[in-house]
Homo-oligomer: A and B are copies of this chain.
C-alpha cells in the first residue's frame, strides 16, 4: 500500500517547476522533448523557463513520487519517445497546489538594480542602457501580441483559453507599464533634470 511520499511537495519550497510540468501533463500526455520544444519554448515561455536537463530530471523525480507514469513509445522513423502521463495522485497534488496561495516573489530585474546604483554614471550611459531595455521590451510585447493573434482571439474560446487570455493580458499590461515608464525615465534623464 506504500504511500510513496509525504502528503505534498518534495522539500519545503513551492516546487513550482514540478507543478508547471504537472499542469502541462494534465492538459495532455507529453515527452520531455515536447515539454522543452512546445511548452517552455512556446506557450508558457513568458511565465516559466526551464533548462532541458532540469526538465528530464524533474520528470524522473515526478515519476519516482508516483505523480506521473511513463510508457515508451516505439517509433520507426525516429528515436523512441518516453511518453509521460499524470496519475490520480499527481492530479490530487496539482489540484492542491493550484489552490495554495504563495508569498509574492521578489522579481530580480538586473536593469532596476543597475539604475538604482548608477548615480556615478554619466546620463548618456544610463540612457543607452534604458534604450536597450526599451528595445527588448518592445520586442517582448510584440511576441505577446503575436501569441494573442495566433491562438487566443477566437470568440468561441473555451474556459481554458479564456484563462490563458487573462494571464496573457497581465503579461502584456506589465510590458506596457514598463515601456511607459522607460519612455518617461529616458525623457527625464535626457532633459538633465536628474
Interface of A is mostly: helix
Contact count band on A: 35 or more
A109 touches B140 (CB 8 A): no
Contacting chain B: which of A19-27, A60-68, A73-81?
A19-27
- B residues near A180, Cβ cutoff 8 Å: 173
Q: Residue on B with the closest CB to A158?
A: B119
Contact B108–A16 (Cβ < 8 Å) = yes
**Alpha-carbon separation in the docked complex, A50 to B79 (Å):** 43
Q: Which residue of B lies closest to A97 (CB)?
A: B114
- State how many angstroms separate the Cβ of A126 from the closest Cβ of chain B: 8
In the assembled complex, 28 residue pairs joining A and B whose CB atoms fall closer than 8 Å, in A order, are: A14-B110, A23-B117, A26-B117, A47-B106, A47-B108, A47-B112, A47-B116, A48-B113, A95-B121, A97-B114, A98-B114, A98-B117, A98-B121, A98-B129, A99-B129, A101-B111, A101-B129, A101-B132, A101-B133, A104-B137, A104-B140, A105-B108, A112-B167, A112-B170, A115-B166, A116-B163, A116-B167, A170-B181
Chain A contacts to B: CB under 8 angstroms: 14, 16, 19-20, 23, 26-27, 44-49, 94-95, 97-99, 101-121, 125, 128-129, 132-133, 136-137, 140, 158-160, 162-164, 166-167, 169-171, 173-174, 177-178, 180-181, 185, 188, 194
4 additional A-B pairs beyond A45-B106, A115-B167, A170-B185, beta carbons within 8 Å, are A101-B129, A105-B110, A112-B167, A119-B160
